[in-house]
Amino acid sequence: MLSAFGNAFRSPDLRKKILFTLFILAVFRLGSSVPTPNVNLERIDECRRIAQDGSSAGLYSIINLFSGGALLQLSIFALGIMPYITSSIILQLLTVVIPRLETLKKEGASGQQKITQYTRYLTLVLAVLNATAFVTMARNGQLFPGCDGIMYDEGIFPIIVMVLVMTAGTSIIMWMGELVTDRGVGNGMSIMIFTQIAAQFPTSLWSIKTARTGANAWLVFGLVLAIGLLVMAAIIFVEQAQRRIPVQYAKRMVGKRLFGGTTTYIPLKVNQAGVIPVIFASSMLYLPVLYATFQKDTPAARWINANFTGSGGNHQPIYNAVYFLLIIAFTYFYVAITFDPVEISDNMKKYGGFIPGIRAGKPTEDYLAYVLSRLTAPGSLYLALIALIPTIAFMTLGAAANFPFGGTSILIIVGVALDTVKQIESQLQQRNYEGFLK
């Protein structure tokens, strides 16, 4: 494997791509540390120390996760890549609902380019809304409850400047991500999310150790590392698992040439939905918490605060039960809109393909839907259990606030790492006929 890494840097074209990607990531991390104008850094550090248990930031944990902690520092890249992710998900869902978008999707590269353009416009709109919301919360003392004085000047002009700077930061992130996709290695947006999440791992791990004293501190630290390695091994195993449905194509004459007669397969992953259901479920659970934030004195708000945002973060039984069920429901929903058995069956029939033992047409549709349903059941349970690992860590180790090996973060890190390594390996095989694994 080490020789394969050496081959990657010995190839001029591949070396240039890797170095370009590393350069963009370094600029990205630098921007995550540059504060937005009008922000009192000393006061922000004090507020973050007060909120070390993570409960005050629980409402924004997903956005703060994807920004590498830049959100709670109010840096120029405070919004991170989250507006782009949200707009991509929205456009993907609207493709099923709006016929115009569905037509563009079927047009190939030109249609996809148009959808990408719509995604960029929607990203800017969401960035303005998010920046306005977070700057307003910082001004009103809601970003860090009970902590004010974050801004030097709370006038309208400095606030507009902060919103514009954060929005411009999101535009720059989007541009850099597309640069990495075109000129670097791997998917630019995914690698940037990977970088922001991985950047928090050393701090989170060390804070688990420093939160305790004596030999017990090192014992808990070692347990967290061991659990993390086991979780990563399990995630890699499940992410690589797939059900291969054999497809055979009949021979057919086109002019004077004979085509077909090949055998291939349809790969159906156990986790067909990826990490999207976890993001959906987290976003849905933020809605009642947002309501409780702005309507503090109502009975509903008091019930939400008691059962959804209890002390120590989101580890209340009702919250976890709803979270678990929402992940399962969204997994089925997302798989249903992204994998269409009818379309797959029609394409197979059009090109003379069939599943051995299954008739073409409706029987093929029913068979694909049946197999997909059987695979989605363990996939949804797997996602729900992985997402609840921080809660289990809190109950057993008391480390939920800083536990890095669970939920959305580890799923994204493992998934992006696997995809990036596969892309580098494919490029190595094109040049040297060998990849990372011989």
Q: What is the pLDDT of residues 192-251, one digit of tens each?
A: 888 888 877 777 777 777 766 666 777 777 777 787 788 888 888 888 888 888 888 776
Residue 434 has pLDDT above 60, yes or no: no
pLDDT in tens, 48-106: 666 554 444 444 556 666 666 667 678 888 888 888 888 888 888 788 788 888 888 87
Instruction: Please give the pLDDT value at position 55.
Output: 45
pLDDT (average), residues 3-8: 64
Listed by start position, the domains of the chain span 1-200, 202-403
Q: How many degrees, rounded to 5, is the angle at CA 29 between CA 27 and CA 32?
A: 110
> Does position 145 have pLDDT exceeding 70, yes or no?
no
Q: 57 versus 157: which is more confidently predicted?
A: 157
Q: Do 285 and 308 touch, CB atoms closer than 8 A?
A: yes
Whether 359 has a pLDDT exceeding 80, the answer reads yes
Backbone phi, psi, residue 189, to 5°: -60, -45
What is the per-residue pLDDT for 23? 92
Model confidence over 172-201: pLDDT tens digits?
999 998 898 888 888 888 888 888 888 777
- 3 state DSSP class of 275: coil
Count of Cβ atoms closer than 10 Å to residue 351 Cβ: 13
Beta bridge mates, 252: 259
- Average pLDDT over every residue of 320-331: 88
Query: Is residue 46 predicted with pLDDT exceeding 80?
Result: no
Residues 6 or more apart in contact with residue 131 via CB below 8 angstroms: 78, 79, 162, 163, 166, 167, 170
CATH topology of domain 202-403: Preprotein translocase SecY subunit (1.10.3370)
pLDDT grade for 313, boundaries at 50, 70 and 90? very low
Q: CA torsion angle for 385, 386, 392, 397 (degrees, to 10)?
A: 160
> What band does 164 get if pLDDT is binned at 50, 70 and 90?
very high
Domain 1-200 is found in CATH 3.30.460.10: no
